[in-house]
């Protein structure tokens, strides 16, 4: 690898990281605004027009707050947990492609790393993400944190299975684990509807969406941080930037899941492209962002309208409904694919 | 570049393994075990076995160890209490271990010439090949193992439900 390519790649990583963190900050603003509208309020309005500078103010507030460490915590693990959460959340984003292959100077602009096992990489990284939450809960020396951590580990294991199983249908259709190839397998149209995986795989899509919402600890599955019963769950004892790291990790995970759903089920960056060359280069990015935004909207919409599950309901739903349905979808899909290719 | 990475991850794996034995709190031991598995996954990755590396992380580090940590947290297991160590192990442990290590190294180096070993980065098996082998050449062992796991699941459910009769 020559030096210019190395420098260019590093610059690309930094730019993507900055864009990602900005999007995460504005995802918080987006959620506050939208939930406020759903509840007939205004949401943030004071800092900047429409409260647009609110994320900046929040960042400064969180950075300058006093960092309190409660007594009796397990030192190293307590420090490690928020970092682990954020690192795994950001790492998962490194294989997400958000546009067609666009090489400038030998470097692909729209993806950090094109792995053959892209999807498995995301699954494995997200399966490591649970440790941040579990260890935070355990090391905080607080009963609410511990309960949050316990709930989280059981919930993650249960729903990871359903999420993984619901994706196998997509893999059967596209025959690859590479995210780019999965997207490219969805090019073209059937009559007037696009060849997106969501149409043949709608059962898999709903299983994946439900399991993914549960895995990102969002309402109606936010039992690990249920504020009405557990104060704030696993991050009760964290303050200042350590708390902010958990917060950023949660929104980054939301974003990764939205990107994944777009790539696997909604044809990624595919959409009508027209006009001059510059527009044709930008439109795929626009379609991708639009689809991801729809999923973020869905997240907030669900949060604004659905009440929280009870814990036994959550477990029963995961094991008795979601896993069997995903398994059934897998059997049905492999049957049809086998018949089709025979 | 590969030899450097190999020594980094190999040292990490051995270091975590030693830490696993030395730590007195079960959670710290469990965390060290996760470290061992992650280091091993990195080694697999350098050999080109991407699929095995990913599965190592998903299954062992991501699922089995989460269950371990869950059980340790649920039982609230405290620090282990050390008993007086066995005198036999104290004097004979280290020499016997070294003899074992030397024997193993000699046998391996005689059995395989350096040329026949897998080099970093040129592992021929891709994910599709693994699938093809698994479902064509080794279909029977694969199915037998699945049935074995199914029996284990049924057994676990039976044991867990016993009290309600």
Residue of B nearest to A157 (CA): B63
CB A182 within 8 A of CB A119: yes
For A226-240, A259-273, A308-322, B146-160, which range has the lowest pLDDT when averaged over its residues?
A226-240
Distance CA(B30)–CA(B57), nearest Å, equals 15
Do A127 and B63 count as a contact with CB atoms less than 8 A apart? yes
Between A107-111, A200-204, B130-134, B138-142, the lowest mean confidence (pLDDT) is in A107-111
Q: B27, B49, B62: best mutation site toward chain A, by most A Cβ within 10 Å?
A: B62
Which pLDDT tens digit goes with each residue over A237-264?
Answer: 787 788 888 888 889 999 999 999 998 8
Q: Which residue of B has its CA nearest to A75?
A: B28
Neighbours of A261 (CB within 10 A): 20
Residue A138 and residue B61: Cβ atoms within 8 Å?
no
Chain A residues within an 8 Å CB radius of B70 = 134, 150, 153-154, 157
Mean pLDDT of A33-61: 86
Range scoring the smallest mean pLDDT among A267-281, B58-72, B135-149: A267-281
Mean pLDDT on A77-92 = 88
A-B interface: how many C-beta pairs under 8 angstroms? Answer: 71
Mean pLDDT of A322-330: 91
Residue A164 lies in domain: 65-341
Q: Taking the model in full, what pTM does it have?
A: 0.84
Whether residue B54 and residue A146 make contact (CB cut-off 8 A), yes or no, is no
Quote the pLDDT of residue B117.
63
Higher pLDDT, A74 or B66: B66
Judge whether A41 lies within some domain.
no
Residue B165, pLDDT above cutoff 60: no
User: Is residue A220 reached through a cis peptide bond, with omega within 30 degrees of 0 on the bond before it?
Assistant: yes
CB A33 within 8 A of CB A44: yes
């869905």: which residue's tokens?
A298
The 3-class secondary structure across chain B, one letter per residue, is CHHHHHHHHHHHHHHHHHHHHHCCCHHHHHHHHHHHHHHHHHHHHHCCCHHHHHHHHHHHHHHHHHHHHHHHHHHCCCCCCCCCCCHHHHHHHHHHHHHHHHHHHHHHHHHCCHHHCCCCCCCCCCHHHHHHHHHHCCHHHHHHHHHHHHHHHHHHHHHHHHHHC
> Span A337-341, mean pLDDT?
86
pLDDT attached to residue B120: 66
Give how many domains chain A has, as a whole number: 1
Contacts 24+ apart (CB under 8 A), A20-25: A20/A90, A20/A93, A20/A252, A20/A255, A21/A248, A23/A255, A24/A248, A24/A251, A24/A252, A24/A255, A25/A55, A25/A56, A25/A58, A25/A59
Distance of alpha carbon A202 from alpha carbon B55, whole angstroms: 27
Q: Is 1.20.120.1200 the CATH classification of the domain at B2-80+88-124? A: yes
User: CB contact, 8 Å: B7 with chain A?
Assistant: no
Is the pLDDT at B150 greater than 90? The verdict is: yes
* Rounded distance between C-alpha atoms, residue A144 and residue A237, angstroms: 9
With a cut of 70, say whether residue B119 has pLDDT above it. Answer: no
Is B4 near chain A, with CB under 8 Å?
A: no
Within a domain: residue A107?
Answer: yes
Please report the pLDDT score of residue B147 as a whole number.
95
A150 touches chain B (CB under 8 A): yes
State residue A276's pLDDT score: 80
A35 in a structural domain:
no
**Tens digits of per-residue pLDDT, A179-220?**
888 888 888 777 777 778 778 888 889 999 999 888 888 778
B50 touches chain A (CB under 8 A): yes
A-chain CB neighbours of B27 within 8 Å are 74, 77, 135, 138
- Distance (Å, rounded) from C-alpha A17 to C-alpha A22? 9
For A274-293, how does the pLDDT look when each residue is reduced to its tens digit (9 = 90+)? 778 788 878 888 888 999 99
Rounded percentage of chain B residues whose pLDDT exceeds 90: 18
Q: Which token pair is A159?
A: 């729903």
| pLDDT for B12 | 92
Complex-level ipTM beyond the 0.85 threshold: no
Put simply, whether B57 touches A (Cβ < 8 Å) is yes
């Amino acid at each position: 690898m020559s030096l210019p390519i190395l420098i260019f790649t590093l610059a690309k990583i930094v730019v993507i990281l900055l864009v990602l963190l900005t999007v995460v900050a504005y995802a918080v603003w987006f959620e506050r605004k939208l939930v406020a509208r759903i509840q007939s309020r205004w949401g943030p309005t004071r800092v900047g027009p429409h409260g647009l500078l609110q994320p900046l103010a929040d960042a400064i507030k969180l950075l300058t707050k006093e960092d309190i460490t409660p007594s009796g915590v397990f030192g190293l693990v307590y420090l490690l947990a928020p970092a682990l959460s954020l690192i795994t959340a950001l790492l998962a984003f490194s294989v997400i492609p958000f546009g067609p292959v666009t090489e400038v100077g030998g470097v692909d602009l729209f993806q950090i790393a094109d792995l053959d096992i892209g999807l498995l990489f995301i699954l494995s990284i997200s399966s490591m993400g649970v440790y941040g939450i579990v260890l935070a809960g355990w090391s905080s020396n607080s009963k609410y944190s511990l309960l949050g951590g316990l709930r989280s580990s059981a919930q993650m294991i249960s729903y990871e299975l359903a999420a993984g199983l619901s994706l196998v249908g997509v893999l059967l259709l596209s025959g690859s684990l590479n995210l780019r190839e999965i997207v490219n397998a969805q090019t073209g149209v059937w009559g007037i509807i696009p060849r997106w995986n969501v149409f043949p795989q709608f059962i898999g899509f709903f299983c994946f969406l439900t399991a993914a919402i549960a895995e990102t600890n969002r309402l109606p599955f936010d039992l690990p941080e249920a504020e009405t019963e557990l104060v704030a769950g696993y991050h009760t004892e964290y303050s200042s930037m350590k708390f902010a790291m958990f917060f950023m990790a949660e929104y980054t995970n939301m974003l990764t899941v939205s990107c994944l759903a777009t790539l696997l089920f909604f044809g990624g960056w595919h959409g009508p492209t027209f006009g001059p060359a510059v527009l044709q280069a930008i439109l795929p990015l626009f379609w991708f962002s639009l689809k991801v935004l729809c999923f973020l909207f869905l997240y907030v919409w669900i949060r604004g309208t659905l009440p929280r599950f009870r814990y036994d309901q959550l477990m029963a739903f995961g094991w008795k409904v979601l896993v069997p349905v995903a398994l059934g979808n897998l059997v049905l899909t492999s049957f049809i694919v086998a018949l089709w290719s025979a | 570049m590969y030899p450097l990475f190999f020594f980094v991850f190999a040292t990490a794996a051995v270091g975590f393994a030693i830490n696993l034995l030395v730590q007195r709190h079960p959670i710290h031991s469990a965390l060290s075990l996760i470290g061992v598995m992650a280091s091993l996954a990195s080694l697999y990755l350098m050999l080109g076995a991407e699929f095995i590396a990913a599965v190592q992380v998903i299954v062992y580090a991501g699922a089995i160890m989460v269950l371990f940590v869950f059980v340790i947290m649920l039982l609230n297991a405290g620090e282990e209490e050390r008993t007086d160590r066995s005198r036999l192990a104290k004097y004979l442990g280290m020499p016997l271990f070294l003899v074992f290590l030397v024997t193993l190294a000699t046998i391996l180096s005689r059995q395989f010439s350096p040329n026949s070993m897998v080099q970093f980065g040129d592992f021929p098996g891709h994910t599709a090949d693994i699938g093809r082998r698994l479902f064509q050449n080794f279909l029977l062992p694969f199915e037998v193992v699945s049935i074995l796991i199914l029996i284990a699941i049924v057994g676990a459910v039976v044991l867990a439900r016993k009290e309600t009769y």
